[in-house]
Amino acid sequence: MRSRRHTAYIGTMTSRVPSYAPETVLVDAGRPDRRDGASVNPPIELSSTFVGSGEIDHSDYVYGRFSTPAWTPFEEALAELEHAELPGLVFGSGLAAIAAALSLVPRDGTLIMPRHCYQGSLESAGELAERSGFTLTTVDIADTAAVVNALDDVAAASAMLWIESPTNPMLEVADTPALISAARDRGILTVVDNTFATPLLQTPLDLGADVVVHSVTKYLAGHSDVVLGAAVTSSEDLHKRLHSERSLRGAIAGPFEVWLALRGLRTLSVRMERAQANAALIAERLSSHPSVVETRYPGLPGDPGHERAAAQLSGFGAVVAFCTQTAQQATAVAEAVRVWTPATSLGGVESLIERRRRNASEPESVPDGLLRLSVGIEHADDLWNDLDAALRTAHSP
Ligand SMILES: *Cc1c(COP(=O)(O)O)cnc(C)c1O
């Protein structure tokens, strides 16, 4: 872990020390070489171009759109966390990483996607399907038999299965190991959006997934101050294609954003621990609140995804969804809160609340009165009292 790799991106990583626990990797990965007087943290490297006069060797730094030392520490940390054989690929946003992964679907192929997943992924896939002529099929990702049927209906060589679990914003839990293995058996490429779970809760490459994508904007960076994405794979071929997509489309990350993301990553395990504990408490109280119609959180013993989540994930995450009777009540709750911030996005230290259907492109199968909570790291009592008071205000005539 200590030997800094100064090659740029393609090629294998230096042999890794038998792994530390993820909490340690988060703190340790991507540090500069240890020598007296050296900086403990990587610097913010600001250079668009790199010295060279011979034939261009893409395993070294050449030009800032191809790769830069500003990305390397974060990309190495990501690879270690997701158990990838190759460095991660940082992108200018989660959606840029997703678009690069979607470019792997062949022209006349089929993309199988959860009907509830990040709405931007669905929109991006839908638009790309029309333009490039692949078929987009949406499935209930929690219904394993239905997904396997969809897999059986497609030509393996040109298909991709997209998994998001738990899903945004419905918190459905897929049988990720079973689905990845079914796709693998049929030679179908699998991509997992691991934004909600983070590599602390699940590492899909270990299950045989081909690519993992992240909105780094959310938990990994963790402070609602950057927009950033990443893709991770252990396949040389897929790495080359994703890298080429990044270089040719140019959806690259800025050095300062990547530096902030690595800084944020250092505290991921303590942030997740607190946020998950808060989420569990809030979900439990919401589930018996008189003004709440339904609460979805995989950590609730009665939740449809509970058993799977308990078996597959090393935690239940910190996103909670609940429904009020009407959209008006949900909007009133989001307007009445003071500790929570009414805003989209998730994964930051501050707690956010959003009625998802305020976005016109959210699927209609998401209930009108559904509020998504991104539970942060404030004191649980303050979060609960604020939410409870807002619910009462919203329901008083
Ligand atoms: C936010 C989000 C994205 C998109 O990432 P950006 O960084 O906003 O581009 C993708 N997937 C999931 C699950 C998300 O929550």
- The 10s digit of each residue's pLDDT in 301-318 is 999 999 999 999 999 999
Confidence of residue 1 (pLDDT cuts 50, 70, 90): very low
Per-residue confidence (pLDDT) for residue 157, from 0 to 100 = 78
pLDDT (tens digit per residue) in 99-109: 999 999 988 89
Q: Is the pLDDT of residue 17 over 90?
A: no
> Structural domain boundaries of the chain?
4-265, 268-394
Question: Is the torsion defined by CA of 34, 36, 42, 46 positive or negative?
Answer: negative
Angle at 89 between CA 86 and CA 92, to 5 degrees: 175
Per-residue confidence (pLDDT) for residue 395, from 0 to 100 = 78
Q: Is the pLDDT of residue 329 over 70?
A: yes
215 C-beta closer than 6 A to ligand 1: yes
99 C-beta closer than 6 A to ligand 1: no
Atom 5 of ligand 1, residue of closest alpha carbon: 94
The more confidently predicted of residues 382 and 8 is 382
- Average pLDDT over every residue of 74-94: 97
Atom 2 of ligand 1, residue of closest alpha carbon: 215
Per-residue confidence (pLDDT) for residue 397, from 0 to 100 = 58
Q: Taking the CB of residue 106, how many other CB atoms lie within 10 A of it? A: 17
* Ligand 1 centroid – CA 36 distance (Å): 40
- Average pLDDT over every residue of 205-233: 98
What value does the mean pLDDT of the chain take? 94
Q: Is the pLDDT of residue 5 over 70?
A: no
Domain 268-394 CATH assignment equals 3.90.1150.10 = yes
pTM for this predicted structure:
0.95
The pick from 168, 213, 224, 366 for probing ligand 1's pocket by mutation, whose C-beta has the most ligand atoms within 8 angstroms, reads 168
- Average pLDDT over every residue of 250-264: 98
- Average pLDDT over every residue of 268-289: 98
**Residues 6+ away with beta carbon under 8 Å from 244:** none
Q: Is the pLDDT of residue 11 over 60?
A: no
Catalytic residue among 31, 60, 61, 193: 193
Q: Is the pLDDT of residue 3 over 80?
A: no
Catalytic status, residue 193: yes
Q: Is the pLDDT of residue 291 over 50?
A: yes
Catalytic status, residue 240: no
Q: Is the pLDDT of residue 247 over 80?
A: yes
Atom 11 of ligand 1, residue of closest alpha carbon: 118
Q: Is the pLDDT of residue 42 over 60?
A: yes
118 C-beta closer than 6 A to ligand 1: yes
386 C-beta closer than 6 A to ligand 1: no
Per-residue confidence (pLDDT) for residue 348, from 0 to 100 = 98
Among 1-5, 232-236, 322-326, 381-385, the minimum mean pLDDT is found in: 1-5
**Residues 6+ away with beta carbon under 8 Å from 352:** 340, 341, 342, 343, 344, 345, 346, 373, 374, 376
Q: Which of 171, 267, 254, 192 is nearest to 222 (CA)?
A: 267
- Average pLDDT over every residue of 151-155: 91
Q: Topology of domain 4-265, per CATH?
A: Aspartate Aminotransferase; domain 2 (3.40.640)
Per-residue confidence (pLDDT) for residue 4, from 0 to 100 = 39
288, burial (CB in 10 Å: exposed 0-12, middle 13-18, buried 19+)? exposed
The more confidently predicted of residues 12 and 207 is 207
Confidence of residue 343 (pLDDT cuts 50, 70, 90): very high
Contact (Cβ atoms closer than 8 angstroms) between residue 68 and residue 42: no
- Average pLDDT over every residue of 377-390: 98
Q: Is the pLDDT of residue 18 over 90?
A: no
95 C-beta closer than 6 A to ligand 1: yes
229 C-beta closer than 6 A to ligand 1: yes
193 C-beta closer than 6 A to ligand 1: yes
The pick from 90, 91, 93, 95 for probing ligand 1's pocket by mutation, whose C-beta has the most ligand atoms within 8 angstroms, reads 95
Catalytic status, residue 218: yes
| H-assigned helices in 235-355 | 236-249, 255-265, 268-287, 306-312, 327-336
Confidence of residue 57 (pLDDT cuts 50, 70, 90): confident
Per-residue confidence (pLDDT) for residue 302, from 0 to 100 = 96
Per-residue confidence (pLDDT) for residue 7, from 0 to 100 = 40
C-alpha 242/C-alpha 331 separation (Å) is: 40
Catalytic residue among 9, 61, 118, 219: 118
For the chain, percent of residues with pLDDT exceeding 70: 95
Per-residue confidence (pLDDT) for residue 342, from 0 to 100 = 98
Rg (CA), the chain: 21
Token code pair at residue 127: 């638009």
**Residues 6+ away with beta carbon under 8 Å from 384:** 281, 282, 285
Catalytic residue among 31, 61, 218, 372: 218
Q: Is the pLDDT of residue 15 over 90?
A: no
- Average pLDDT over every residue of 335-353: 98
